[in-house]
Structure 1
Amino acid sequence: MANEKVTSTDVAKLAGVSQSAVSRVFTPGGSASKKTVDKVKKAAEELGYRPNVLARAMVSGKSRIIGLVVAYLNNQFYPDALEKLSNRLQEEGYHVLVFMTHNAEGIEEVIDEILDYQVDGIIAASVDLSSELAERCRSFSVPIVLFNRSQQTGNFSSVTSDNFCGGMTAAEFLIAGGHKKISYLAGQDSTSTQRDREIGFRAGLSQAGMDLHSRGNGMFDMEKASEATIRMFENDPPDAVFVANDHMALAVMDTLRFELGLKVPEDVSVIGYDNVDAASWPSYRLTTLEQCADVMVSETVRIILQQISHENDAPQKVAIGSPLIIRQSARIPGGWKR
Structure 2
Amino acid sequence: MRRVTAGDVARAAGVSESAVSRTFTPGASASARTRERVLKAAEQLGYRPNFIARSLRARRTNLVGVLITDFENPWPQMALRHLVSALQARGFHALLFDVEDADSLAGIVPLVLQYQVDGLIVGAADVSAAIVETCSATGTPIVAFGRHGRRRLGISSVASDDAAAGAGVADLLFERGYRRFAYVAGEGGSLTWNSRGRGFARRAAALGLDPVQRHLSGETSYEAGGRAAARLLGRLPRPDAVFCQNDVLALGFLDGARDDFGLDVPADLAVVGFDDIPAAGHRPYRLTTVRQPVDEMMDATAELLARRLEEAAGQGEERLLPTCLVERATVRPG
TM-score (norm. length: structure 1): 0.91
Secondary structure of residue in 1 paired with 2:272: strand
| Residue of structure 2 in register with 1:291 after alignment | 292
* 8 Å contact from structure 1 (residues 186, 243) kept in 2: yes
Is structure 2 residue 195 aligned with structure 1 residue 201?
no
In structure 1, the residue matched to 2:220 is 220
> Residue 61 of structure 2: SS of its match in structure 1?
coil
- In structure 2, relative to structure 1, the CA distance for the partners of 1:288 and 1:40 (3 Å cut) is farther
> Is the partner of 1:169 in helix, strand or coil?
helix
Counterparts of 2:188 and 2:196 in 1: how far apart (Å)?
A: 11
Structure 1 gap ranges (5+)? 334-338
| Structure 2: stretches of 5+ with no match in the other structure | none
After the TM superposition, which residues 53-202 of structure 1 pair with which residues of structure 2 at under 5 Å, given as runs? Answer: 53-151=51-149, 153-202=152-201
**SS of match in other structure, 1:68:** strand
**Residue type of the alignment partner of 1:323:** C
Structure 1 SS opposite 2:311:
coil
Instruction: Tell which deviates more after alignment, 7-16 or 112-121.
Output: 7-16
Measure, in 2, the Cα distance between the counterparts of 1:291 and 1:85: 14
Q: Provide closer, same or farther for how the CA distance between residues 134 and 24 of structure 1 changes in structure 2, counting only shifts above 3 A.
A: farther
Contact kept, 8 Å, 1:202 with 1:211, in 2: the verdict is no
The letter of the residue matching 1:297 is M
Distance 1:100 1:183, change over 3 A: same
Report the CA distance between 1:136 and its aligned residue: 1.7
What SS is found at the alignment partner of 2:111?
A: helix
> Aligned residue for 2:229?
229
Partner of residue 325, structure 1? 326
- Post-superposition offset of 1:14: 4.0
Structure 2 residue identity aligned to 1:106: S
The separation in 1 between residues aligned to 2:51 and 2:179, in whole angstroms, is: 61
Count how many residue pairs are aligned between Structure 1 and Structure 2: 330
State the distance in 1 between where 2:230 and 2:153 align: 39
Computed over aligned residues only, the root mean square deviation of the Cα atoms, in angstroms, reads 2.2
Measured in 1, the distance between the counterparts of 2:36 and 2:195 equals: 53
1:37 shift after superposition:
6.7
C-alpha contact 2:149 2:318 (8 A) present in aligned 1 = no
Q: How much identity, in percent, do the aligned residues show?
A: 35
Distance 1:323 1:16 in 2: 62
Q: Distance in 1 between matches of 2:303 and 2:88?
A: 13
Tell me the alpha carbon deviations over residues 57-97 of structure 1, each in whole angstroms, 9 at most, x when there is no partner.
32110111000011221111111111111122123222211
Q: 2:308 and 2:135 mapped to 1: Cα distance?
A: 13
- Are 2:254 and 1:253 aligned? yes
Rounded Cα–Cα distance in structure 2 between residues aligned with 1:297 and 1:258: 37
- Letter of the 1:149 counterpart: R
Please give the secondary structure, in 2, of the residue aligned with 1:216.
Answer: strand
Q: Which amino acid aligns with 1:194?
A: W
Residues 161-212 of structure 1 show CA distances to partners (whole Å, capped at 9, x for unaligned) of 0011000000111011111111111120112221110111011112211233
1:322: Cα distance to partner?
0.7
Give the drift of 1:102: 1.1
Partner of 1:336: none
Q: What's the CA shift for 1:41? A: 4.5
Task: Return the alpha-carbon distance in structure 2 between the equivalents of residues 215 and 202 of structure 1.
Answer: 9
* CA apart distance, 1:254: 1.1
